[in-house]
Structure 1
Amino acid sequence: MNVIGTAGMPAAERLAFRREVSAKLWGPCDRRRGSHAEVGFRADSGVSEFGPVQAALVTTAPHAVRCTPDPVRRPEPEVFKLGCVVRGGGLVEQDDRRADLQAGDLILVDTSRPFLGRCAPDAPASLLLLRFPREALPLPARDVRRLNGVRIPGSHGVGALSSQFLLQLAARMDELGPSETARLSALVLDVLTVALAGALDVHGAAPSSTRQGALMAQIRAFMEKNLGDARLTPEAIAVANHISLRYLHKLFQQDGHTVAGWIRERRLEACRRDLTDPRLASRSIGAIAAGWGFSSPAHFSQAFRATYGLSPRQYRTRTPTL
């Protein structure tokens, strides 16, 4: 994760620097300080790439942002931002809609259209911003635009599932290297699809052609979140996502997988990654396997060898920890 911040800069230069960085990341913005202007503007951003999705974890002093697209030069005509409030609150206005936000809530903004964002004035705010081209989503553009400036509650429904994943992502972004972000890219895009398709169902039914894909993304996000739970079974997954066990198996068959096979692959990959992590060098192989839901050490060792051609111990000793 690349960190961009105002720490160490003269107070008088911070706002101008932040405006320049924001223009490069999100487009031209008029960034205005709040009531604490006399102590100097402070802000930090940690930026990571998840395939077509750019994630920025922004921590900032109270301020307002008014963005107006350049009518002459617009190289990315349909770039959206989905924000997840990590800490604090605020409001967003776009297309004559106003959303008052609190921690956990989600908000969609179309950067090709004017919008106003304002942090709560009483405390610093932290926001995870996911920037992505509209074409990356399997949702019709006309439907996505209906969500501009609409609050997606993070307290219940599909919004809560998406919010929980994004809050976890915000908490662990600084731990992720290039290989982890590459592996998570599809999942991040799936979560975006789930959040927006779920909101479309609330504010106007999502097209039927997108519902199955959104449901599959929702199921994968649930499975990733609970991958370390040994009780993660097809039956538990079906119940948690309010579908029949038969339909769950059908969805995975259409995708060329089995439910149990998908869980096993993801767990083995997580164990393989942990076995080469120098921070976990003192942790036993059995503890790593149990932490990712393998209740039988013998079964784990057999499955690992079948997948990677080496036993877990051989893999750990022969692979350099960088």
Structure 2
Amino acid sequence: MPIEHRPDGTLVYGYLDTAARQGAGASDAVLVRDEDRPYQAETRPYRLGALGACEITGEDRVRVSSLRSTAAPAGEHLLGLLRDGNGRLEQDGRLAPLSTGEFLLYSGSRPFRLEFDGPYRYFLIRLSTAAFSISRGFTANRDILGPPSARILGAMLMELADQAARLGPLAGHELGHHVTAVLRTVLHESSRPAPPGDGVALLERVLDHIDRHLGDDLPPAAIAAAHHVSVRYLHKLFQQQGHTVSDHVRRRRLDRIRQDLADAALAHLPAQTIAGRWGIKDPSHFSKLFRSEYGLSPREFRREAIAGRPD
């Protein structure tokens, strides 16, 4: 991790963008102020598929401030987990305390301030800008820790940080995808109320129906008719969960396709044949959807998945 001592603190960069050679212009550049002595910390960078990650361990109280950088992608967000210690995160007019085992979201492309009291261990993940559209209402906001899914994500991140050094490329890629998926669930739960009345049971039946018929034609009208509700009410159920019916069907199909592409027993089948089995018939459309969701083409994913599995 390159550092540069300055009169106003220590410039730190290259902890997420390990190829950075731009100092203050690097996409992950921050200014660290240590009141007692020159800043010192141990960093361990990791790669989790499309996600960059790093664990930072220090002994002293520090204050971290963002630096304006044209290299930081617009819309970039960071997921920070405090493994040990106590701290605070400030952004977008909110100041949120952070304790051991808790995580918060913040934007790397807008001003923020992060403080740690004394010894700390901090696990940081840079999220893929293609995977999320995160509103300012979620940054430095402890409300995202409220849903049950947030407790699951927190435990998952703690264990991921413990095991990150032992993960192979394929496992890291798949776990990065799982982190993205669970975080998306946390954000949906944080911002959307539960379906009213008997909507919960109905939504569960609809989700089960979709999973059992992914290979069929699944327009919203057919799903609504199968459950004797209007299309408008069906859309309302999904909008309360933060996505559309079509979004859910597409993601479930891509997940089944991904599982089949990683299955060596199905390696003789063309990727498009597998996609067709799960309801995605257009080859070019399938390739674009798959790359957008997983960051690899179907062929690249299959090659990595099968090559990484034991015989």
TM-score when scaled to structure 1? Answer: 0.55
Note if 1:44 corresponds to 2:33.
Answer: no
Q: Is the alpha carbon distance of 1:117 and 1:20 closer, same or farther for their aligned partners in structure 2, counting shifts above 3 Å?
A: same
Q: Unpaired runs of 5+ in structure 1?
A: 209-240, 270-314
Q: What does residue 287 of structure 2 align with? A: none
Note if 1:191 corresponds to 2:150.
Answer: no
Tell me the SS of whatever aligns to 1:136: coil
Q: What does residue 14 of structure 2 align with? A: 21
Q: Which residues of 2 match residues 1-322 of structure 1 at below 5 A?
A: 16=10, 19-22=12-15, 24=17, 27-35=28-36, 37=37, 40-61=38-59, 62-70=61-69, 73-74=70-71, 76-121=73-118, 124-137=119-132, 140-141=133-134, 144-152=135-143, 154=145, 157-201=148-192, 246-247=205-206, 249-253=208-212, 254=214, 255-256=252-253
- Give the count of matched residue pairs: 212
Identity %: 20
2 CA distance for matches of 1:169 and 1:257?
Answer: 24
1 CA distance for matches of 2:105 and 2:165?
Answer: 24
CA displacement 1:187-212 (0-9 Å, x = unmatched): 121122123223323xxx69x9xxxx
Q: Unpaired runs of 5+ in structure 2?
A: 19-26, 215-251, 265-308
CA displacement 1:184-241 (0-9 Å, x = unmatched): 232121122123223323xxx69x9xxxxxxxxxxxxxxxxxxxxxxxxxxxxxxxx9
Aligned residue type for 1:86: R
- Quote how far apart the aligned CAs of 1:132 are: 1.7
Decide whether the 8 Å contact of 1:84 with 1:104 is kept in 2.
yes
CA RMSD of aligned residues (A): 4.0
CA displacement 1:103-161 (0-9 Å, x = unmatched): 1222111111101000023xx11122110233312xx45xx221121125657622111
Q: Is the alpha carbon distance of 1:55 and 1:243 closer, same or farther for their aligned partners in structure 2, counting shifts above 3 Å?
A: farther
TM-score when scaled to structure 2? Answer: 0.56
Tell me the SS of whatever aligns to 2:101: coil
Aligned residue type for 1:113: R
1 CA distance for matches of 2:145 and 2:100?
Answer: 8
Higher-helix-fraction structure: 1
